[in-house]
Amino acid sequence: MIIKPRIKSRLLVILEILNSRMELAEEEKQYYLSQEKGHHGEQLNDLWVKKLEEELFVLHNLLFEMKNSQFQIDTLIIAQDRIYLLDVKYHKGDYIYKNDGFYTLSDNETKNHLHQLRRCETLLRQLLQTLGFNIPIESTLIFNNPEFYLYNVPPELPIIFPTQLKRFYNNLNKRPSKLSEKHKLLAKKLLDEDKGESSYSKIPIYKYHQIKKGFSCGTCFSLLTTVEKRKVVCTSCGHIEHLESALLRNVKEYMLLFPERKVTTLAIYEWCGGVGSQRSFRRILFNHFTPIGHGRFTHFIE
């Protein structure tokens, strides 16, 4: 049972919008792509988690704080006699494991994901103790990109490779699990402790005038779209969206990027590139938001 579903982080949503509406610096672009890749890897892993049939509580994307240290958990599964802590990496390429670290083939040391996992487990154990729970934690580092390989891994390390995923989840599923009120309380307490999104997330700096205006496509984020009567047609991918849903999505983008700016018919008309009819925009805004003020000074809030 999924107690906390995975949603795309606010950071990733903003990066997606910025990537389609402005020229990101190379470093920002790389950061965006790594976030996107990470999210994709997590979603792939979620497909396995969804298939588990025993009684389990699943919580995705948690951020906790313990003794002034923040730690993030991709997936936490509460089972009858233990907690599974899953850290998912969607890296690709060849690496070597040596001296308790991860190295590239050209011998550069890279981020040590096992250290990260152990740190996370230690902090989670402390958190569980403060919450009054003493339940074993089983941590696993999952590499689920089929184009990943790590040489020289001792088999006792808690690492799962793409070819082992099926067996890993089969074994997890074979272990009987029945949950009680105690587990429910634990899930509730963990949700209460969840801090939401990290405040350290790196959002590039942007200004209204730098941002390209236009209707973004709901599938490929391209601004190469045309408005034909009640439809928005993407000339990049061919996706056709109803004007109403496309407009609402673009209004959401505007509100997310510029929470301090007012949502008026004219502002949204400008935001969408000055195409379509202001009258139909106004009608859609009236139908979905609360109008404040009168006439052309009307602005809308959620």
Establish if 220 lies at the interface with Zn ion (CB under 5 A): yes
Task: Specify the stretch interacting with Zn ion by CB under 5 A; choose among 73-81, 97-105, 146-154, 227-235.
Answer: 227-235
Establish if 236 lies at the interface with Zn ion (CB under 5 A): yes
Are β-strands 101-104 and 109-110 bridged in parallel, bridged antiparallel, or unpaired? antiparallel
Q: Is 39 helix (H, G, I), strand (E, B) or coil?
A: helix
CB of 221 to Zn ion, least distance (A): 7
Contact criterion met (CB below 8 Å) for 85 and 190: no
Contact criterion met (CB below 8 Å) for 98 and 66: no
**Which listed residue (9, 19, 222, 280) binds Zn ion by CB under 5 A?**
222
Establish if 58 lies at the interface with Zn ion (CB under 5 A): no
Q: Side chain identity at 239, as an amino acid letter?
A: H
Q: Which of residues 121-160 bind Zn ion (CB under 5 A)?
A: none
**Which listed residue (171, 210, 219, 245) binds Zn ion by CB under 5 A?**
219
CA distance 37 to 147: 13
Task: Specify the stretch interacting with Zn ion by CB under 5 A; choose among 4-12, 50-58, 169-177, 232-240.
Answer: 232-240
Count of alpha carbons within 13 Å of 60, Cβ hemisphere only? 17
Please give the helix or strand (H or E) that residue 75 lies within, else none: strand 69-78
Q: Which residues contact 17 (CB under 8 A, 6 or more apart)?
A: 216, 221, 253, 256, 257
**Which listed residue (234, 251, 268, 285) binds Zn ion by CB under 5 A?**
234
Task: Specify the stretch interacting with Zn ion by CB under 5 A; choose among 140-148, 150-158, 199-207, 210-218.
Answer: 210-218
Are β-strands 101-104 and 93-98 bridged in parallel, bridged antiparallel, or unpaired? antiparallel
* Total of chain residues touching Zn ion, rule CB under 5 A: 8
Establish if 240 lies at the interface with Zn ion (CB under 5 A): no
Task: Specify the stretch interacting with Zn ion by CB under 5 A; choose among 87-95, 116-124, 152-160, 237-245.
Answer: 237-245
CA distance 291 to 187: 40
**Which listed residue (237, 275, 292, 301) binds Zn ion by CB under 5 A?**
237
Our CB check for Zn ion shows the closer of 120 and 234 to be 234
By CB neighbour count within 10 A (0-12 exposed, 13-18 middle, 19+ buried), where does 50 fall? exposed
Site of interaction with Zn ion (CB under 5 A):
217, 219-220, 222, 234, 236-237, 239
